[in-house]
Structure 1
Amino acid sequence: MPPDETPEQKIVRLEARFNELEVETTKLSTEREILQRAAKYFAGETRW
């Protein structure tokens, strides 16, 4: 945090970071769901 940052600038900076984290969380959740489905699919395919 810059020492000369105003409260308004801090809010804008933190809101931008929050939005970045929301996007990243959505991406990771989607990837996890895909991996879980793939694992379930391949577990069913490997009947030796």
Structure 2
Amino acid sequence: LLDQVRTAGGVEPLEATLADWRTRLTRRGRAMLAGSAALHAYLTESSSLDG
């Protein structure tokens, strides 16, 4: 781990990389949740129309 910190040029670049990764992961997770909710609404509506 210490070698990786040294290779990266210190802690600051790693912190920035981790913050960026966290942001992208959060966006992806929220998009997946929104897609899941839309699919659920679609399937629920479709099944209620089939009667």
TM-score past 0.5 threshold: yes
2:33 counterpart residue number: 33
Deviation for aligned residue 1:16: 0.6
Q: Which amino acid aligns with 1:40?
A: H
Look up the match of 2:23: 23
The answer for unaligned runs of 5 or more in structure 2 is: none
How much has 1:14 moved relative to structure 2? Answer: 1.1
How far off is 1:10 after superposition? 2.9
> Identity percentage over the alignment?
14
Query: Relative CO higher for 1 or 2, CA cutoff 8 Å, sep ≥ 6?
Result: 1
- TM-score, with length taken from structure 1: 0.72
* Alignment size in residue pairs: 43
- Return the TM-score normalized by structure 2: 0.68
Q: CA deviation at 1:15?
A: 0.9
Higher helix share: 2
